[in-house]
Amino acid sequence: MMNPLIDLRSDTVTRPTPAMLEMMFQAPVGDDVYEEDPTVRALENEAAARFGLEAGLFCPSGTMTNQIAIKAHTEPLSEVICEQTSHIYLWEVGGIAFHSGASVALLAGERGRVTAAQVEAAIRPVNVHYPTTSLISLENTHNRGGGSCYALSELEAIAEVSRRHGIPLHLDGARIFNALVATGQQATEYGRLFDTISVCLSKGLGAPVGSVLLGSKAFIQKTKRIRKVMGGGMRQAGYLAAAGLYALENNVNRLADDHRRARQLGEQLAQQSYVAEVLPVETNLVIFRLKPEMPAEKFLAQLEEQGIKASSFGPQMIRFVTHLDVDDEMITRIEDALSAF
Ligand SMILES: *Cc1c(COP(=O)(O)O)cnc(C)c1O
């Protein structure tokens, strides 16, 4: 039998398991635009409760939950503070300008993490020449930063700045469960510090579709019309929400296995003569730089010959992502391929 393809491009490539599909088939559903889908309601409430927040909004994607949150928090002629490699700025098609007519103040972080002092320095004084600072947005884990995690003390300091200036604080928590599992931090701490949180169900949690935006009841009520105008009002969406409920129930603690496998790959890569640098591996992302004698296209083509897919992540940079569909046997195959080049 042919060895199965190993896809390290992203944790979004996972397929639902038979048990997840079974729960989807069994889901009680209704029309969610009429707020009549019990499974969507159950997912929104369960996700909100985990973080100690009041309400949730189920959406097709994390881009949508982030962009809805930004739209609801800001107004035109205002500005969002975020890190310069954050997903909301780099990989959401310029949606902040398109949907919200807002400007961005970009901070240079350390592997995607910013400090309270940097955030405070970026807040605009009130002046006719300036946009008004309307939102601070953080990302944890940080994708471009190689799955890096914030220390709780830094988040507390940033939340203190946000409260003191009366500026809301949003979290792009596409991989927040990876951060929680890796650090042992509690979800409820995040609900206490952040006004709104976007959580992806289709990354490491293994659901086929969906993200949830969490916040206060009043905030989530406001976001329903924004989701509708973006075309994100879904009808019998409970079939999809059921996958999210299954994922929250069954696929959170196992993220530790993905992290262990990512660390193993990071250690193996660090020993290869053609690898210049491996970013510290904190969660399920492994980002590394190849030496000039190993062009990225050649490296990726050699991997592909062994049935392994990975992504290029900038000049000479490669990203490996471990997830539900990468097991220990596959890790051994990858290690064999890496040491054979
Ligand atoms: C994947 C991702 C998102 C959302 O992506 P979608 O593909 O729209 O679901 C948001 N933020 C980060 C950091 C991500 O990695």
pLDDT digit string, tens, across residues 250-275: 999 999 999 999 999 999 999 999 99
pLDDT score recorded for residue 2 = 66
332 in a structural domain: yes
DSSP 244: H
Residue 105: give its domain's CATH number: 3.40.640.10
Q: Which of 186, 221, 250 is the last residue of a domain?
A: 250
Residue 276: give its domain's CATH number: 3.90.1150.10
Separation of CA 61 and ligand 1 centre (Å)? 7
Question: Ligand 1 within 6 A of 83 CB?
Answer: no
Q: Which of 234, 250, 266 is the last residue of a domain?
A: 250
Tokens 């696929």 locate to 251
Q: Which of 231, 250, 269 is the last residue of a domain?
A: 250
Q: Which of 59, 143, 171, 201 to mutate to test the pocket of ligand 1 (most atoms within 8 A of CB)?
A: 143
Nearest to 159 by CA among 124, 194, 133: 194
Question: Ligand 1 within 6 A of 92 CB?
Answer: no
Phi then psi dihedrals of residue 108, to 5 deg: -90, 105
Separation of CA 222 and ligand 1 centre (Å)? 22
For the chain, what is the domain count?
2
* Domain around 120: 18-250
Q: If you take atom 14 of ligand 1, which residue's CA is the nearest one?
A: 174
Please tell me whether residues 226 and 81 are part of one structural domain: yes
Nearest to 330 by CA among 21, 6, 28: 6
Mean pLDDT of 89-94: 98
Structure token digits, residue 113: 């993490």
Please tell me whether residues 301 and 280 are part of one structural domain: yes
Ligand 1 atom at shortest distance from the alpha carbon of 64? 8
Residues 6+ apart with CB under 8 A from 329: none
Amino acid identity, position 87: H
Other beta carbons within 10 angstroms of residue 202's beta carbon come to: 24
pLDDT score recorded for residue 314 = 86
326 in a structural domain: yes
270 in a structural domain: yes
This prediction has a pTM of: 0.97
Tokens 């660090």 locate to 270
Q: Is 162 left (phi over 0), alpha (psi -120 to 50) or beta?
A: alpha
> How many alpha carbons lie under 13 Å from residue 29 in its C-beta half-sphere?
17
| Greatest Cα-to-Cα distance within the chain, rounded to the nearest angstrom | 69
Question: Ligand 1 within 6 A of 87 CB?
Answer: yes
85 in a structural domain: yes
pLDDT score recorded for residue 1 = 52
Ligand 1 atom at shortest distance from the alpha carbon of 66? 10
Q: Helix, strand, coil: what percent of the chain each, to 5?
A: 45, 20, 40
- Tell me the C-alpha distance between 70 and 99, whole Å: 9
Please tell me whether residues 281 and 173 are part of one structural domain: no
Q: ∠ at Cα 34 (29, 39), nearest 5°?
A: 30
Q: Please tell me whether residue 318 adopts helix, strand or coil conformation.
A: strand
Question: Ligand 1 within 6 A of 172 CB?
Answer: yes
Percent of the chain scoring above 90 in pLDDT: 98
Question: Ligand 1 within 6 A of 322 CB?
Answer: no
